[in-house]
Amino acid sequence: MTARSRPEGARAGQATLHDVARLAGVSIKTVSEVVNRTGRVTPATTARVESAVAALAYQPNLSARRLRRGTTGVIGLAVPELSMSGYFNELSALIVRAAAARGLTVLIEQTDGTREGELRALSGPRRSVMDGLLLNATALDEQDLADRLPLPPTVVLGERRLGAGLDHVTFRNEEAARLVAEHLVGLGRRRILVLGGDPTTSASAARRLDGHRAALEAAGLPFDPELVRDVGLWDHDAGHAAVVRARRDGLRFDAVAAVNDSIAIGALRALHDEGVAVPDEVAVAGIDDIVDARFTFPRLTTVDPRRDELAERAVRALTERIADPTRPAVVQEIEGYLRVRGSTLAGADRRDP
């Protein structure tokens, strides 16, 4: 009479709580409590259950657990892209690891750094399979978020400081840009070409520009808007094209401060192509300290954003937000370290690998 239809999926043959309970001679509730370390079970029973678990190689069925608990065990990670800049793949690898340590699976979504892509991650259909979202927002503005309140558990990463009472784990961009500019100014550079996004639409670009200007100001140097260029996508090709264009425009500069390492690497390439000596004629610096920054010619001066710290804190903030949706929003800022190499300081590479 039963509508018997044992699904023969991937887990066919797996032991269940019932099997373990039968073998251990206890009820499934007891097994569940032992497995989840919840409730009080006597040590003797616990031991019996545990040996039954081991004997049957029992693995909890996550689908069932999640169905019951109402969660999915999946968190989303929305980043602009994965395969271009070197930054986001390194960050993603760290986040995947940090999440795995908490039993969470990461669903990676690429937004292409567009408002549409970010909105899709924020409230598209895939959102329904996630317990929470780590959103590296670059194009969204505060109004976009305000329109969608209350949001499911969301932690904003990266540059953008969005209000709306959201948790943030941000890298101190202003600081990073300031470190770079101070370093370049300290080396006697006076005309620093800033390669980044459009400060009127990208808040990250704006904040880095703030840091840059602050450093110039502190040094008593003038700020020339001519020297700020929007490169579009933040990848190698964009950096290359921007430098070629700047030189074609007859712009004079003795340093390049790029908003990330990929742009800086493209810039290095372009300067080399045009026969400009680095760092003698033009010093070049990036931000991110990606692996490749140690293998350019010359090696690239950059800012280490401590991705590991960012990843760890981001996942922790999200799990805490998921556990308690009502707690007040927390903003965490991570400071970077300047790594001086040969692209700004001749001879600095001698100590590097």
Q: Which residues bind a second copy (CB under 8 A)?
A: 7-12, 14, 59, 61-64, 66-72, 74, 82-84, 86, 89-90, 92-93, 96-97, 105-108, 110, 125, 128-132, 152-153, 235-237, 240, 265-266, 268-269, 272-273, 291-292, 294-297, 322, 349, 353
Strand partners, 283: 255
Measured over the CA atoms of residue 132, residue 83, residue 212 and residue 230, the dihedral's sign is negative
- Determine contact, residues 132/155, Cβ cutoff 8 Å: yes
Q: Which is nearer to a second copy, 84 or 221 (CB)?
A: 84
Where b means 16+ CB within 10 Å and e means fewer, 97-135 reads ebbeeeebebbebebebeeebbbbbbbeeebeebbbbbb
The residues in 313-352 that bind DNA, with binding defined as CB under 7 A, are none
Rule CB under 7 A: say whether 71 interacts with DNA.
Answer: no
**292 touches, from DNA, a second copy, none (C-beta below 5 to 8 Å by class):** a second copy
Rule CB under 7 A: say whether 16 interacts with DNA.
Answer: yes
The packing angle between helices 43-56 and 17-24, to 10°, is 120
**Contacts made by residues 89-96, CB under 8 angstroms, sequence distance 24+:** 90/290, 90/291, 90/307, 91/307, 91/310, 91/311, 94/307, 94/308, 94/310, 94/311, 94/312, 95/134, 95/311, 95/314, 95/315
- Determine contact, residues 134/75, Cβ cutoff 8 Å: yes
Q: Which is nearer to DNA, 67 or 323 (CB)?
A: 67
What's at 48, amino acid-wise? Answer: R
Rule CB under 7 A: say whether 60 interacts with DNA.
Answer: yes
Supply the minimum distance, in Å, between the C-beta of residue 124 and a second copy: 11
Binding mask 18-57 for DNA (x = CB under 7 A): x------xxxxxx-xx-xx-xxxxx-xx------------
Q: Which is nearer to a second copy, 64 or 219 (CB)?
A: 64
**153 touches, from DNA, a second copy, none (C-beta below 5 to 8 Å by class):** a second copy
Q: Dihedral of the CA atoms 281, 206, 307, 154 (nearest 10)?
A: -160
How far is Cα 34 from Cα 42, in angstroms, rounded to an integer? Answer: 10
DSSP secondary structure letters along 201-223: T-HHHHHHHHHHHHHHHHTT---
Rule CB under 7 A: say whether 125 interacts with DNA.
Answer: no
Query: What tokens were used for 188?
Result: 């006697």
**26 touches, from a second copy, DNA, none (C-beta below 5 to 8 Å by class):** DNA
**214 touches, from DNA, a second copy, none (C-beta below 5 to 8 Å by class):** none
**123 touches, from DNA, a second copy, none (C-beta below 5 to 8 Å by class):** none
Supply the minimum distance, in Å, between the C-beta of residue 84 and a second copy: 6
Binding DNA (rule: CB under 7 A), the pick from 47, 55, 67, 218 is 67
Q: Which is nearer to DNA, 32 or 332 (CB)?
A: 32
Q: Which is nearer to DNA, 69 or 272 (CB)?
A: 69
Q: Which is nearer to a second copy, 67 or 218 (CB)?
A: 67
Q: Which is nearer to a second copy, 69 or 252 (CB)?
A: 69
Quick check: bond before 298 cis, omega within 30? yes
How far is Cα 300 from Cα 314, in angstroms, rounded to an integer? Answer: 27
Contact set with DNA (CB under 7 A) = 1-7, 11, 14, 16-18, 25-30, 32-33, 35-36, 38-42, 44-45, 58, 60-61, 64-65, 67-70
